[in-house]
């Protein structure tokens, strides 16, 4: 952009958006590109939004929606609101408390409401409702792609670090029953501690088989989506630290260039996962090293998360278009 546009960056926690592997990158880039007023939502007052024209929301959607509903966030309805959301699937899940949240939020900002999500498949679903939406993949900065620890110096064999949803517990139980000694750990919030864990891990494994209910607002019943086109960010983070990452494939992986990261390997079911783990463990050490280094180099060279389409590029595109002419959301009442 030729001149620095003023924006409000509304977050749950400033330390989180500063220190998180991905959000820290985004924070750095928007600070370089805009005049930023960063606010934590729990401490805002009405005057904070006086004369505001653009509000970028990087809060958890449930927190943002709850505070809008309680009128805790007095954002003028004429503002252009750009919302970054990680939980898109919940908007389409009729069993979720967030079902329909996008439509409610868009109705509160009828002139200019835009969403940025991490899956093009889900972005297309959001656009079907008449809401402006794009996808931006998450990546890691090349600076964290350090020289990987050798295989024999990594103290942990097969493990998972993250949220233990029911479908994952079932998967890990099946893996253990099949002879794979998989360790499970709670999610690490500190980025450096998380990277150190990955640097000591040989193989990360997880399942995304969820059979997610999906129901469009005008449909009478939900269908089931086996693999809800989940984020590949964790796999990218693993590969960036020289750790193999295994999970099921989905339609979104091509948009993330996963096929070009050889240390990210997909499996079809539990037995296939067992075989892939065994294949990696028995692999010629030189071949294994070759795959690890190739994965790291691919991640370091891929800067498309900052290109177009990307998080930053979309924000700039929205601002340019709004400064030219506001675009209202299409009504879905007659769908």
Structural domains of the chain, ranges and CATH numbers in brackets: 6-138+304-324 (3.40.50), 142-301 (3.40.50.2000)
The half-sphere exposure of 139 on its side-chain side, counting CA atoms within 13 A, is: 27
Report whether the peptide linkage leading into residue 30 is cis, meaning its omega lies within 30 degrees of zero: no
What is the spatial distance between Cα 78 and Cα 285, in angstroms, rounded to a whole number? 60
CA torsion, ordered 256, 259, 264, 270, to nearest 10 deg: 100
Left if phi > 0, otherwise alpha if psi is -120 to 50, otherwise beta: which for 71?
Answer: left
pLDDT in tens, 189-231: 888 899 999 999 999 999 998 888 999 988 999 999 888 777 8
What is the spatial distance between Cα 307 and Cα 312, in angstroms, rounded to a whole number? 8
Compute the C-alpha angle 326/59/309, nearest 5°: 55
Residue-level pLDDT, tens digit, the chain, 335 residues: 457 899 999 999 999 999 888 888 889 888 988 999 999 999 988 889 888 899 999 999 999 998 888 767 788 888 899 999 988 888 899 999 999 999 999 999 987 899 999 888 899 999 999 999 998 888 888 888 989 999 999 999 999 998 888 889 999 999 999 999 999 998 888 888 999 999 999 999 999 988 889 999 889 999 998 887 778 989 999 999 999 999 999 988 888 889 999 999 999 999 999 999 999 999 999 999 999 999 999 999 987 765 444 677 778 888 887 776 544 555 444 33
> What's this model's pTM, rounded to 2 decimal places?
0.88
- Distances in whole angstroms, Cα of residue 19 to Cα of each of 25, 28, 193, 209: 9, 10, 12, 30
| Pairing verdict, β 223-225 and 6-11 | unpaired
Q: Which residues of 140-155 are buried (b: 16+ CB within 10 A; e: fewer)?
A: bbeebbeebbebeebe
Among 23, 32, 34, 108, CA closest to 64: 108
What is the spatial distance between Cα 61 and Cα 88, in angstroms, rounded to a whole number? 9
CA torsion, ordered 102, 104, 109, 110, to nearest 10 deg: 100
Whole-number pLDDT of residue 138 = 80
Whole-number pLDDT of residue 292 = 98
Measured between its terminal Cα atoms, the distance across the chain in Å is 37
Q: Cα 279 to the chain's mean position, in Å? A: 29
What is the spatial distance between Cα 90 and Cα 122, in angstroms, rounded to a whole number? 11
- Identify the helix (H) or strand (E) that includes residue 50: none
Whole-number pLDDT of residue 308 = 43
């Amino acid at each position: 952009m030729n001149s620095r546009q003023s924006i409000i960056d509304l977050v749950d926690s400033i330390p989180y958006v500063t220190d998180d592997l991905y959000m820290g990158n985004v924070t750095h880039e928007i600070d370089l590109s805009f005049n930023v007023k960063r606010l934590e939502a729990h401490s805002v007052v009405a005057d904070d939004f006086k004369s505001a024209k653009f509000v970028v929301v990087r809060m958890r959607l449930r927190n943002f929606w709850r505070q809008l509903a309680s009128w805790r966030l007095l954002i003028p309805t004429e503002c252009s609101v750009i919302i970054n959301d990680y939980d898109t699937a919940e908007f389409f899940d009729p069993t979720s408390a967030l079902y329909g949240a996008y439509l409610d939020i868009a109705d509160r900002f009828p002139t200019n409401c835009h969403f940025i999500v991490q899956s093009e498949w889900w972005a297309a679903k959001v656009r079907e409702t008449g809401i402006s939406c794009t996808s931006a993949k998450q990546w890691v900065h090349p600076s964290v792609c350090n020289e990987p620890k050798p295989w024999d110096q990594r103290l942990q064999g097969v493990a998972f670090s993250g949220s233990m949803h029911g479908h994952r517990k079932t998967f890990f139980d099946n893996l253990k029953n099949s002879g794979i000694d998989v360790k499970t750990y709670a999610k690490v919030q500190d980025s450096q501690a998380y990277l150190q864990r990955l640097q000591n891990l040989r193989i990360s494994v997880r399942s995304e088989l969820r059979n997610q209910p999906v129901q469009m607002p005008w449909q009478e019943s939900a269908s089931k989506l086996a693999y809800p086109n989940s984020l590949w960010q964790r796999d990218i983070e693993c590969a960036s630290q020289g750790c193999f990452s295994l999970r099921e494939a989905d339609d979104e992986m091509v948009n993330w260039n996963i096929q070009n990261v050889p240390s990210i390997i997909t499996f079809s079911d539990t037995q296939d996962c067992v075989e892939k783990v065994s294949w990696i463990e028995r692999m010629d050490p030189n071949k294994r090293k070759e795959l690890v280094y190739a994965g790291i180099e691919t991640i370091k060279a891929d800067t498309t998360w900052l290109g177009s389409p990307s998080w930053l590029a979309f924000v700039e595109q929205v601002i340019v278009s709004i400064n030219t002419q506001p675009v209202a959301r299409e009504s879905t009442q007659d769908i």
